[in-house]
Amino acid sequence: MPICQSATFVHKGVDVPSDYSYSRLSNPTRRHLEQTVAALEGGADAFAFSSGMTAITVAMMLLKSGDHVIATDDLYGGALRLFNNVCACNGIEFDFTDTSDIDAVKALIKPNTRLFYIETPSNPLMHVTDIREIGRLAHEAGALLYVDNTFLTPYYQKPLSLGADIVIHSGTKYLGGHNDTLAGFVVTKTRELADRVLYCSKTIGGQLAPFDAFLIERGIKTLPVRMDRISENACKIAEYLQTEPAVKKVYYVGIEGTEGNRINRGQATGFGGMISVEVDSAELAKQILARVKVFQYAESLGGVDSLITYPMLQTHADVPKAEREARGINDRFLRISTGIENIRDLIEDLRQAIHG
Ligand SMILES: Cc1ncc(COP(=O)(O)O)c(C=O)c1O
């Protein structure tokens, strides 16, 4: 698809319909990408934004003051910040819980509950929520279900086919895949929801620029190859980390015998590349960040390059300390995004970073 780098499009004549008029409404390069993502997720339509946070913000515009939302407590920190410090100030009520616990979710439903918002696996504790169960609860309550599908992508998980109404992506991550641009998506199950999102999107703005749309579409061409390699690497890294005495806990959906692994197998075809670990001291966590050579100490995830981040100081820095620590996101907690490098190099790198 060519890069249609234009803000406006010449009309063929008065009263002659044209596909494109102004790029905030639609742009050929962006539209092609949106149709690709809608097809991958099995949605009625998709909308591409300049970041994942813009996508979440636009999707939240479908709510109004007085509406109640039940959300995963272990969300990307930026989403928590938006919900607690912006949406809540505009009169939207939130309850956060571990949505992998269906009874805990049920107990929070109120007459004004209009939205269930989940990430599965969640960021960074990798809790897996049963999408079908939550979809059923949401629809019985007359509410919508939004699923942030950033971690598994439609290659492994298709939430719309499991009961979600809207899928959200930080396209910055696996869809783009190369850490070279930001992007976000809202994908809707129905045309009716698509028209509501389109109205908000064309009113608010924040759409993905044509060159960035081209980059994300180019990234998507290799999504299956990258996801397979990334997952294979992640499984081996998780296996290795479990043998290290200084690593106290490994959080990875691919680890057999856990409830998360069981639920994930029932709704997704792969485990992805995200691993979190708790090591036995803050000194060791810092030592690993300082010593890695193949991994890089950087925020973000989902690219071809392996990254390690310190959620306490980065992605979850704005979550109040007591709340963060109660959930285990402390100064010994690191999050790994596995890339496509040679697995021997990756494991050797972690080994030398841990042992010095
Ligand atoms: C799961 C998840 N959703 C949404 C976002 C926000 O996306 P962006 O950084 O593209 O705005 C992130 C960012 O890290 C994320 O990890």
Residue 235 is part of a domain; what is its CATH number? 3.90.1150.10
By most ligand atoms within 8 Å of CB, the mutation choice from 49, 73, 76 for ligand 1 is: 76
Q: What are phi and psi of 161, to 5 degrees?
A: -80, -10
pLDDT given for residue 323 in this prediction: 85
**Ligand 1 atom closest to 182 (CA):** 10
pLDDT given for residue 108 in this prediction: 98
- 210 and 76 together in one domain: yes
Q: Is the pTM of this model over 0.85?
A: yes
Which domain does 199 fall in, by range? Answer: 28-220
- 263 and 121 together in one domain: no
- 88 and 230 together in one domain: no
pLDDT given for residue 156 in this prediction: 98
d(CA 189, CA 94): 24
Q: What is the mean pLDDT of each run of 10 residues along the chain (356 residues)?
A: 96 92 97 98 98 98 98 93 96 97 98 98 96 98 98 98 98 98 98 98 97 98 98 98 98 97 98 98 97 97 97 86 89 97 98 95
- Look at the chain and report how many structural domains it folds into: 2
- 143 and 172 together in one domain: yes
- 205 and 230 together in one domain: no
Q: What are phi and psi of 190, to 5 degrees?
A: -115, 160
Q: Which class for 294: exposed (0-12), middle (13-18), buried (19 or more C-beta within 10 A)?
A: middle
pLDDT given for residue 314 in this prediction: 86
Ligand 1 shell residues, CB under 6 Å = 51-53, 76, 78, 119, 123, 148, 150, 170, 172, 182, 184
Residue at 153 is within a domain: yes
pLDDT given for residue 155 in this prediction: 98
Instruction: Compute, in angstroms, the gap from residue 90 CA to the centroid of ligand 1.
Output: 22
Which residue numbers are catalytic?
A: 24, 76, 148, 173
Residue 153: both structure tokens together: 């992508």
pLDDT given for residue 17 in this prediction: 86
Look at ligand 1, atom 10, and give the residue with the nearest C-alpha.
Answer: 52
pLDDT given for residue 327 in this prediction: 86
For position 57, which CATH number holds? 3.40.640.10
Residue at 35 is within a domain: yes
Residue at 63 is within a domain: yes
